[in-house]
Structure 1
Amino acid sequence: MFPLHDDNPTQDTSIVVYVLILINVLIYGYQASLPNFQLGEWFGNWALFPKELIANPAKGAIALVSSQFLHGNIFHLVGNMWFLYLFGNHLEDQLGHWKFLFFYLFCGVVAGVGQVITAPMSLVPMVGASGAISGVMGAYLIRFPRARILSLVFLGFFVTAIPIPAAVFLGLWIAGQTVYAAMANPNLPGVAYLAHISGFAIGAIAMLLFSKRKR
């Protein structure tokens, strides 16, 4: 399934979401312009390395944030930015600009820590906004479970667009991430599924607490 749009209107301009997308695109543009020998140094300085975080938490704390703005390739970037745009604008509308920014970065940090805990000695660099965006998706599930998401569904060679309740779409998504995480080795290069799960969980919990406090 791939989400196209939802039926959930917003009342305010999603300034933070647009700025985050712009920053990610600009950083990737700069990153793509680097020759290979400088690209390795770039990732060495700003990507999150689990073993380095354990050995030097002060330096690693910076990487917990900076790594959220790096991406491995153009498909990684475009996929993340689309999910951020689709789900993030509603959360920013609910939380307000500054609270949403803090929420986004906080979810990304927790997601990174969640992945590090499972592979503390790994030297595989972690990059991408997907942990933070997973947090946004977890919060969306709690706040808008009945919103309908028009999604492309691939049935072999047949492709169709179907409106799917957010609770179903996001429930299937996190279930899939959990299955993949169970099969993957966190010490090897690949998708940081446990970061997705950690981000999703903290996003859902934070939105539950926020909604309870608001009531």
Structure 2
Amino acid sequence: MYAVIPQELSNSFQGIVLTSQEFPELATLITSQFLHGGWWHLISNMSFLWVFGNNIEDRLGHIKYLIFYLACGGFAGLCQWFISMNSAIPSLGASGAISGILSAYVISSPQAKVLTLAILGFFVTTIRIPALVLIGFFFIQNVIAGIASLQAAANMSVETGGVAYWAHIGGFIAGLILAPVLGIFHSDNWN
């Protein structure tokens, strides 16, 4: 198992027909979802998966959920690759797939209140925020940062590493498309 390296994935798409030599590079679109760049990366992804993932799994069942998760993550990897085809910076993590889960959650339960940790100066408390607001903020923040990363790369003519914003955006969009196809719609029973 290893991460997606956009430059190597681009090289695998050079031929008209994919051979078994290219398969390992294509497989990174799946294997990269199970690797993380450190404990904080892993813990933050698993926290989002814990809060939102079980609701979507309850809706879809185990097999459809696995397919949904891997498809969102794979599409997320392709989106990040498309933006940075010549990059040698590895891309890894579950956040593209989890972004798809977030968009499915917004479709199914937009009014649900999410218990959120709030840090106000020296005070730490919890507040309940509507899922649509919380996840909408997440998506808008990623779009703004994604556009900024494109501008930074264009202006400096260097590679920008760090957060794969376009993977988050791609996973989110994949979730918006796939969730209704797999039968996830808004239901007042799930709020």
- Specify whether residues 66 and 212 from structure 1 end up closer, same or farther in structure 2 by C-alpha distance, changes over 3 A only: closer
Q: What SS does the aligned partner of 2:182 have?
A: helix
1:87 and 1:147 map into 2 onto residues whose CA distance is: 11
The 5 A counterparts of 1:57-206 are 57=13, 58=22, 59-184=24-149, 185=152, 187-206=159-178
1:87 and 1:61 map into 2 onto residues whose CA distance is: 28
Q: What SS does the aligned partner of 2:129 have?
A: strand
Q: What SS does the aligned partner of 1:55 have?
A: helix
- Specify whether residues 150 and 212 from structure 1 end up closer, same or farther in structure 2 by C-alpha distance, changes over 3 A only: closer
TM-score by length of 1: 0.74
In structure 1, the gaps of 5 or more residues are 1-44
1:191 and 1:71 map into 2 onto residues whose CA distance is: 12
**RMSD of the TM alignment (CA)?**
1.9
1:127 and 1:113 map into 2 onto residues whose CA distance is: 12
Paired residue type of 2:77? G
Residue identity (%): 44
In structure 2, the gaps of 5 or more residues are 14-21, 154-158, 186-191
TM-score by length of 2: 0.83
Paired residue type of 1:138? S
1:183 and 1:158 map into 2 onto residues whose CA distance is: 32
Q: Deviation at 1:188?
A: 2.0
Q: What SS does the aligned partner of 1:145 have?
A: coil
Paired residue type of 2:164? A
1:126 and 1:48 map into 2 onto residues whose CA distance is: 5
1:46 and 1:169 map into 2 onto residues whose CA distance is: 32
Give the count of matched residue pairs. 170
